Structure 1
Amino acid sequence: MGKTGLNDSAEAAKPAKTASNAPKGAVTDSKSFRDGLIYLYQRADFKKPTWLCRVKIPNGSGYVNRSTGTGDEHKAFKFADDLYNQLLVKSLTGEAPPGKQMGRAIQSYIERLESQPHKLSIHYKVLLLKRIKPFLERKSFDDLSTSLLSKVVDEQIALTKKGTLSPNTIKRTYTDLKHFLQWCIEEGYITQMPRFPKVNGVASSRPHFDAKDWAKLIRQLREIVKVENGAIRRDRMMLRDYVLILANTGIRVGEARTLKWRDVTEIGGGNGEAAHVTLLVSGKTGKREVVARSADIKTYFKRIHDLRVEELTVEGKPKPKIDPNSLVFCHKDGTEIGTFKKSFAALMKRAGVERDSYGNLRSLYSLRHTYATFCLQHGVAVYTLAKNMGTSVAMIEQYYGHTTNVASASELTKRVKRQASGAASSLSWLE
């Protein structure tokens, strides 16, 4: 081993500056070893003199930068030399080049996702990666650990207004991170998947509307459209049918946002039976056909359809036909309604149904949970329901397992004589 001095480094032509006159971040001292493969240096912005090292990746491109954690030159060199030997062993055994920062990989993964056909699941993955990029982009793949992955979630929690994330949201975050890291393995950034933290928390039932509160909500839906102001009435009419359609189909908020008239069709019918309404939606699990629970849902779609025809009619001209490629839930100018969140929250407040019996705050997604709960109570098979909702049987059983006993009531009580006074009242899904 021999020192080659500063002649092997880019700083060779620059005189070393003293800590007293050096600008912040400037190199105040430096040493070069192994013909420039190892470079030690100290910076002016460190209160306590500490050697940093830059080590060339053997048989690869780029460098690994580390703090040696010591101001002793001999200890610092040993740290850097050990690091070089570790990199050399990994290189000789064919392991992925270590030390690469995650920023470029994250950006490449985002660009790959954005080049794919639009799907809600891809949108969520891109959103997550963009959020965590500032936290991870300057970290090395060598830093990947259970602790670091846990800190990623801590960073996400810090960004929320309420300062918490549900166990289910944390699980989804880790699932999307696993997809990213699996891609990193395929691209050669890492050789194996790191161990993920355990997510604590027992899955609880999701806030939905029971029969009593659903009736209160329906009454308010009838009342809110009884206003004179045209613009306000228009928004409330759209909200009314939006709520009824989501509650009768169980589609996700994101799926409703992009629903077009061409996606609404009828199947079956004839022989005295009503046709069923189906919706072709695109969501987290890709495209699927959703069968509405009741044929009466046509009433809600027709009200929106008639509203749009009225808005698009020009005086003195025949009534126009609705463009099948236009959005179902839209503003007067046809543009997408971003969210009904605030108007739905105001509706629940007026109806006095903001929270369920456990004190959990309801939201637009409670309409989907209400659909699932009522279907199970009325005997819909779990597999059939999961397929229609675009989720798994495991998810249905995990979050709605408390409801399946009601669905199995006939089996559980088949040896018990039924009395009319003990029969459960049915829930009307109609307005």
Structure 2
Amino acid sequence: MPKSHSHYKEFLDLRGDGRVVLYKRADHQNPKWTVRLKIPTVEGFVVKSAKTTDDFEARRFAEDLYYRLEGKARRGEPINSPTFRRVFTEWAKVPVAEQVVRSARYVNGNVRRVEIWALQYFADITIDKVTEAMLADYVDWRLSQPRRPAIVTLKNERTAIRQLLRFAKRRGYISEVPEFAIKSGKNNARPDIPEVEWNRLVRFLPGYVDRTQDRRRQRERFYLVLYILIMGNTGIRIGEARKLKWRDASTTRTLTDEVRAILSVRGKTGEREVVCNRGVERYLDELRSFRTEELGHSPSDQECVFCHPSGAPVGSFKGASRGP
């Protein structure tokens, strides 16, 4: 036995060039063969257990694996694919500045979504094995949980998992990001407002505030108008809007350098980040300016965005719609 291989009790170089090697370690009691492969153009070695003590079976396994991996290397496909857990650890450490949406809350929220469920499910599966079929199985598994998730929750998880998979592609761990389909839920959503009617409402609203001389009613209508515009351009729920505080509102810049408002809302499905349509940042500025003038100073971060003069949250805007 060569001196350089003295730490092996058995060592077989099948081709004589170090590319396909079988060995058993002298310091291990495991009687099964281990395969060590050196693939051209790929850094380092690929080491796998042959899972057999039979010499012939181990040789066949090693040669088949070598040619399979060599073919993947020639096609530009990754060879040493890390586990989902390892990719998650790397992805979770990526600075917020490198993410598409530059919001720490948004990024951390997506990391948390993957950590709670996907990390538990995929764990030590190599990232190249996370296929379209496996992602479909993941959705079925989530839907089988005692607390069945809403479709919107699954879609938020899909967004986060896709971000991780795109990160894996940039690192060269996978060649393509697999499709990730989620079936729609029951078709019981409220119908959308037709665009023609929405535009007519938007044109009507400014004059609606000016048509009353009563200062209290003007304030109510001013808040109602901005409430309608913000709700229509964010899709947040009534309960979420009622709890929305100034600390929950922030802004970010898109890749096209547009300023967009981001709202951190809490409701029946838990906490979520909402990237708003263009214009919502102006509506929030109008509300903040009005409230600052009303108070004589900026509102507290703990104060609700939609509030009465006392600072108490507005429970309903029904009163603002009455009268001339």
What is the TM-score with the length of structure 1 in the denominator? Answer: 0.42
Q: For residues 90 and 70 of structure 2, what CA distance do their matches in structure 1 show?
A: 27
- 1:80 corresponds, among 62, 74, 78, to 62
Q: For residues 140 and 2 of structure 2, what CA distance do their matches in structure 1 show?
A: 44
Q: For residues 75 and 279 of structure 2, what CA distance do their matches in structure 1 show?
A: 50
Contact 2:8–2:24 (Cα < 8 Å) also in 1: no
Matched residue SS, 2:279? strand
Contact 1:64–1:100 (Cα < 8 Å) also in 2: no
Q: For residues 152 and 45 of structure 2, what CA distance do their matches in structure 1 show?
A: 39
The 5-angstrom pairing of residues 416-427 of structure 1 reads none
- 1:13 corresponds, among 7, 25, 29, to 7
Paired position in structure 1 for 2:303: 328
Q: Which amino acid aligns with 2:279?
A: E
Offset at 1:127?
A: 1.7
Q: For residues 167 and 184 of structure 2, what CA distance do their matches in structure 1 show?
A: 27
- 2:279 corresponds, among 254, 278, 289, to 289
The 5-angstrom pairing of residues 255-294 of structure 1 reads 257=244, 259=246, 281-283=261-263, 284-285=274-275, 288-290=278-280
Closer, same or farther: CA 261–430 of 1 in aligned 2, 3 Å: farther
Offset at 1:204?
A: 3.1
Paired position in structure 2 for 1:405: none
The 5-angstrom pairing of residues 104-143 of structure 1 reads 104-112=86-94, 114-115=96-97, 116=99, 117-118=102-103, 120-131=105-116, 132-133=118-119, 135-136=121-122, 138-143=124-129
Closer, same or farther: CA 14–78 of 1 in aligned 2, 3 Å: closer
Q: For residues 22 and 245 of structure 2, what CA distance do their matches in structure 1 show?
A: 56
* Structure 2, gaps ≥5 residues long: 191-225, 251-259, 264-273, 306-312
Q: Which amino acid aligns with 2:301?
A: S
Paired position in structure 1 for 2:310: none
Q: For residues 299 and 249 of structure 2, what CA distance do their matches in structure 1 show?
A: 5
Contact 1:262–1:325 (Cα < 8 Å) also in 2: no
Q: For residues 286 and 188 of structure 1, what CA distance do their matches in structure 2 show?
A: 33
Q: For residues 79 and 140 of structure 2, what CA distance do their matches in structure 1 show?
A: 29
Closer, same or farther: CA 139–246 of 1 in aligned 2, 3 Å: farther
Offset at 1:118?
A: 1.6
Q: Which amino acid aligns with 1:172?
A: N
Q: For residues 94 and 261 of structure 1, what CA distance do their matches in structure 2 show?
A: 45
Q: For residues 168 and 261 of structure 1, what CA distance do their matches in structure 2 show?
A: 21
Q: For residues 255 and 156 of structure 1, what CA distance do their matches in structure 2 show?
A: 30
Q: Which amino acid aligns with 1:105?
A: V
Task: Say how many residue pairs are matched.
Answer: 246
Q: Percent identity of the aligned residues?
A: 18
Contact 2:20–2:62 (Cα < 8 Å) also in 1: no
Superposition RMSD in Å? 5.2
Matched residue SS, 1:179? helix
Paired position in structure 2 for 1:175: 159
Closer, same or farther: CA 5–65 of 1 in aligned 2, 3 Å: same
The 5-angstrom pairing of residues 195-344 of structure 1 reads 195-196=179-180, 199=183, 201-205=185-189, 249-250=230-231, 252=236, 253=240, 257=244, 259=246, 281-283=261-263, 284-285=274-275, 288-290=278-280, 321-323=296-298, 326-329=301-304
Contact 1:146–1:196 (Cα < 8 Å) also in 2: yes
Q: Which amino acid aligns with 1:125?
A: N
The 5-angstrom pairing of residues 337-376 of structure 1 reads none
Matched residue SS, 1:112? coil
CA-to-partner distance for each residue in 1:183-239, whole Å, 9 max, x for gaps?
332332211222435536434327xxxxxxxxxxxxxxxxxxxxxxxxxxxxxxxxx
Q: For residues 255 and 32 of structure 1, what CA distance do their matches in structure 2 show?
A: 72
Contact 2:84–2:124 (Cα < 8 Å) also in 1: yes
Offset at 1:286?
A: 5.2
What is the TM-score with the length of structure 2 in the denominator? Answer: 0.53
* Structure 1, gaps ≥5 residues long: 16-29, 207-244, 264-279, 310-320, 331-339, 341-346, 348-366, 372-426
Contact 1:259–1:281 (Cα < 8 Å) also in 2: no
Contact 2:132–2:179 (Cα < 8 Å) also in 1: yes
Q: For residues 164 and 58 of structure 1, what CA distance do their matches in structure 2 show?
A: 48
Q: For residues 142 and 92 of structure 1, what CA distance do their matches in structure 2 show?
A: 17
CA-to-partner distance for each residue in 1:232-256, whole Å, 9 max, x for gaps?
xxxxxxxxxxxxx978843544996
Contact 1:5–1:31 (Cα < 8 Å) also in 2: no
Closer, same or farther: CA 32–184 of 1 in aligned 2, 3 Å: same
- 1:145 corresponds, among 111, 131, 134, to 131
CA-to-partner distance for each residue in 1:358-417, whole Å, 9 max, x for gaps?
xxxxxxxxx9xxx9xxxxxxxxxxxxxxxxxxxxxxxxxxxxxxxxxxxxxxxxxxxxxx
Offset at 1:82?
A: 1.2
Closer, same or farther: CA 327–38 of 1 in aligned 2, 3 Å: farther
